Amino acid sequence: MIIEETQANPRYYEKMSRLLDEIIAQRKNDTLEYQEYLKRIKELAELVSAPQKTNEYPESLDSAAKRALYDNLDANEILALALDNIIKATKLDGWRDGGIKERKLRIAVQNILKDDEKTDALMDIIKAQCDY
């Protein structure tokens, strides 16, 4: 699931991947008992499958898309919510085709971010969201 969902929220799933690697390394080094290992794997699986259950997100981030924006905008809640509103107001049906509709949305995002590189990275994340 970490691999499959990475495109939708790279920062969150990279963090989950690092946690998994740490747990596995601890188990390999015999610093973690098997029962504790299973417990930590279970906890990680819950975080991966339901990120909204963590205490990391403000209540206003009530969708996967908003949480992805938040994670990839250095935990800037106001910017994430502003972008979410702009995306919802600007996107047109069939906007993911790489044509004019997508470029129109990219321009709207660019007007908020004022950074081409960050806009490109976020557009990939936005395209991967089911909520949009």
- Average pLDDT of the chain is 89
Q: Which residue type is seen at 112? A: I
CB 116 within 8 A of CB 110: yes
Has residue 25 got a pLDDT over 90? no
Distance between CA atoms of residues 5 and 19, nearest Å: 16
Distance between CA atoms of residues 83 and 4, nearest Å: 24
| Alpha-carbon 83 to chain mean position | 14
Q: Which two tokens stand for residue 86?
A: 């702009």
The full DSSP string for 5-29 is HTTT-HHHHHHHHHHHHHHHHHHHT
Going by the DSSP 8-state scheme, the letter that residue 58 receives in this structure is -
pLDDT at position 60: 94
B/e letters for 35-64, b = 16+ CB within 10 Å, e = fewer, are: eeeeebeeebeebbeebeeeeebeeebeeb
All residues at 6 or more sequence positions from 46 whose CB lies less than 8 Å from its CB, including other chains: 53
Has residue 31 got a pLDDT over 80? no
- Cα dist. 105→68, 110, 112, 124, 130 in Å? 17, 9, 11, 12, 16
Say what the pTM is.
0.72
Has residue 8 got a pLDDT over 80? yes
